[in-house]
């Protein structure tokens, strides 16, 4: 069998013709991938380009965002009083944590008289007394005082002749409204809330500090934490009473005029005076 030789010239010419024909047939197909299709070339509806993404960058030309509305939490001096029968005044003392009671009591009395000029001291209490016999005005409700006016009007019929006025004074830190703390809050109170219907009495001649020292001298420990009251017994005598929570044996009654320890007879006499006042 002989070796194949190179194709003859006739075959080579036919191959070149077939290659050219294939190239001509492929050109329309390939051209469609390289040129842009126009709407006129087909019946398709043109698809619009997608919208650009929103710009989330804040505009520098915009002004500052408006502040949220504010809510008033405390009254201002220009606001009308919430209750015309109430008044608050700042307390002027050198040391609010250990204030001398007599000076605070005079300020409380002036506030009470500004609400009703006829009232006088009825009762007082010291809830937060210091070891030295002062008042810790840095704590709320350290001091409360009742002033009142009580008489029978002779121009009116019995049963319609009772005239009573009450003023309540308390010390405060957190409820001073438009005055600086510490302050005294004063308000007119219902006359039926006057302590046992008691009549006004003079301020104690024996100071709270002196009465507390007398209680120490009678056996109350110097570190005892006590509350003090004055004027709850109609008297006489007018008594300072000291109570230590959980220790009835440490209760002391001190005469508000002489600073001496009151006897059981003194206390009984004062209680009898209160009973007579209740029966009237």
Residue 99: beta bridge partners? 135
Mean pLDDT across the chain: 77
Give residue-wise pLDDT tens across range 185-230: 999 986 555 654 567 888 899 999 999 999 999 999 999 999 999 9
Phi, psi of 160 (to 5 degrees): -120, 10
Calculate mean pLDDT across residues 57-69.
46
Quote the pLDDT of residue 202: 82
Give residue-wise pLDDT tens across range 114-141: 999 999 999 999 999 999 999 999 999 9
Quote the pLDDT of residue 31: 47
Give residue-wise pLDDT tens across range 14-54: 545 545 444 444 444 444 444 444 444 445 555 656 555 55
Place of tokens 């009151």: 262
Residue 86 confidence class, pLDDT cut points 50, 70, 90? confident
Quote the pLDDT of residue 39: 46
Q: What is the pTM of this model?
A: 0.65
Quote the pLDDT of residue 49: 61
Burial class (CB within 10 angstroms; exposed 0-12, middle 13-18, buried 19+) of 141 = middle
């Amino acid at each position: 069998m002989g070796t194949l030789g190179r194709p003859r010239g006739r075959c080579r010419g036919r191959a070149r013709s077939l290659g050219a024909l294939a190239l001509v047939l492929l050109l329309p197909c390939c051209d469609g991938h390289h040129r842009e299709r126009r709407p006129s070339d087909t019946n398709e509806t043109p698809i619009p380009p997608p919208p650009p993404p929103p710009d989330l960058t804040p505009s520098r030309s915009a002004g500052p965002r408006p502040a949220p509305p504010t809510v008033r939490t405390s009254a201002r001096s220009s606001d009308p009083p919430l209750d015309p029968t109430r008044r608050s005044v700042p307390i002027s003392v050198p040391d609010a944590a250990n204030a001398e009671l007599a000076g605070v009591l005079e300020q409380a009395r002036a506030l009470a008289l500004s609400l009703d000029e006829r009232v006088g001291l009825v009762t007082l209490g010291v809830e937060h007394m210091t070891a030295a016999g002062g008042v810790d005005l840095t704590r709320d409700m350290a001091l409360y005082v009742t002033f009142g006016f009580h008489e029978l009007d002779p121009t009116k019929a019995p049963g319609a002749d009772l005239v009573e006025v009450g003023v309540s004074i308390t010390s405060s830190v957190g409820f001073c409204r438009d005055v600086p703390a510490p302050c005294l809050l004063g308000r007119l109170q219902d006359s039926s809330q006057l302590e046992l219907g008691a009549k006004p009495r003079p301020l104690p001649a024996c100071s709270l500090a002196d009465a507390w020292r007398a209680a120490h001298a009678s056996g109350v420990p110097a570190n005892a934490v006590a509350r003090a009251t004055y004027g709850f017994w109609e008297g006489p005598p007018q008594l300072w009473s000291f109570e230590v929570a959980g220790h009835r044996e440490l209760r002391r009654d001190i005469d508000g005029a002489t600073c001496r320890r009151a006897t059981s007879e003194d206390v009984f006499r004062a209680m009898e005076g209160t009973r007579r006042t209740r029966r009237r």
